[in-house]
Structure 1
Amino acid sequence: MIRQFLTVAVAISSFTAYAQEMGPKISAKEPTVTITAKLDNAPNDTMVILMEPYTGEFDSTIIRNHQFTITRPMTKGGSVYILQIGAASEKSGTVLYLEPGKINITGKGPYFKDAKYTGDLWVKEWQEVAKLTSPEEGDGKRLVELEAMYRKAMEVGDEDKAEAYAKEGGEVEARMVKSYKNWIATHRNSGISGYLMTCYIKSPKERDSIYNTLGEHAKASRILMRYKYPGKVDPSPLTVHVGDGEAPGMPKQLKVGEVAPDFSLPDTNGKMVSLSDFKGKYVFIDFWASWCGPCKPQIPFLKAAYEKYKNKNFAMMAISLDSKREAWIKAIEKHELPWLNLSSLKGWGDTAATAYGISYVPSNVLIGPDGKIIAKDLYDEKIELKLAEQFNNPTALTK
Structure 2
Amino acid sequence: MKKLLFVVLTLCSTTLFAQESNNGKKLWAKSVLNEKAPDLVVEKWLSKQPDTKGKFVLIDFWATWCGPCRKYIPMLNDFQQKYGDKLAVIGISDETEDRVKAFKDPKITYAEAIDTKRTLYSQLEVKGIPHVIIIDPKGIVRWEGFPLLGNFELTEKVLTDLMEKYKN
Query: What is the TM-score when the length of structure 2 is the normalising length?
Result: 0.73
Quote the Cα distance in structure 2 between the aligned partners of 1:232 and 1:352.
25
For the Cα contact (< 8 Å) 2:56–2:87, is it kept in 1?
yes
Deviation at 1:264, TM superposition (A): 2.7
Answer whether contact 2:46 2:113 (CA < 8 A) is retained.
yes
**TM-fit CA distance, 1:149:** 6.6
Contact 2:63/2:93 (<8 A) preserved = yes
Partner residue in 1 for 2:60: 286
2:69 pairs with 1:300:
no
Q: Does 1:231 align with 2:22?
A: yes
Once superposed, what is the RMSD of the aligned Cα atoms? 3.1
Q: Which residue of 2 aligns with 1:313?
A: 86
Secondary structure of 2:37's aligned partner: coil
- In structure 1, what is the Cα distance between the partners aligned to 2:124 and 2:23? 23
Query: 8 Å contact 2:56–2:86 — kept in the other structure?
Result: yes
Indicate the SS of the match to 1:303.
helix
**In the alignment, residue 343 of structure 1 is paired with which amino acid?**
I
Q: Distance in 2 between matches of 1:366 and 1:279?
A: 14
Q: CA shift at 1:391, angstroms? A: 3.7
1:261 has 2:33 as partner: no
- Structure 2 letter corresponding to 1:370: K
Q: Tell whether 2:105 aligns with 1:334.
A: yes
Residue aligning to 1:31: none
Structure 1 regions of 5+ residues with no counterpart? 1-144, 152-198, 200-225, 242-250, 394-399
1:188-236 Cα offsets, whole Å, 9 max, x none, are xxxxxxxxxxx8xxxxxxxxxxxxxxxxxxxxxxxxxx7xxx7257xxx
Matches of 1:284 and 1:268 in 2, distance apart? 17
Counterparts of 1:369 and 1:302 in 2: how far apart (Å)? 19
Residue 358 (structure 1) aligns with: 126
1 CA distance for matches of 2:45 and 2:23? 39
Correspondence list, 1:1-399, <5 A: 148=4, 231-232=22-23, 239=27, 241=28, 253-265=30-42, 266-268=44-46, 273=49, 278-310=52-84, 312-322=85-95, 324-331=96-103, 333-346=104-117, 350-377=118-145, 379-380=147-148, 382-392=154-164
Q: Between Structure 1 and Structure 2, whose CA radius of gyration is higher? A: 1
Moved over 3 A (4+): none
Higher relative contact order by CA 8 Å / sep ≥ 6: 1 or 2? Answer: 2
Q: Check 1:325–1:391 CA distance in 2 against 1; reply closer, same or farther (3 A cut).
A: closer
How far apart, CA to CA, are the structure 2 residues paired with 1:146 and 1:375? 35
Identical pairs, percent: 25
Contact 1:318 1:341 in 2 (8 A): yes
TM-score, normalising length: structure 1: 0.33
Kindly indicate whether the alpha-carbon contact (under 8 Å) linking 2:142 and 2:162 is maintained by their aligned counterparts in 1: no
1:263 partner letter? L
Q: Is the 2:76–2:110 Cα contact (8 Å) retained in structure 1?
A: no
Deviation at 1:317, TM superposition (A): 0.3
CA contact (8 A) 1:257 1:374 kept: yes
Q: Which runs of no fewer than 5 residues in structure 2 stay unpaired?
A: 8-14
**How many residues are paired up?**
149
Structure 1 residues 232 and 316, CA, compared in 2 at 3 Å: closer, same or farther? Answer: closer
Query: Is contact 1:279-1:371 (8 Å) kept?
Result: no
Decide which structure has greater helix share.
Answer: 1
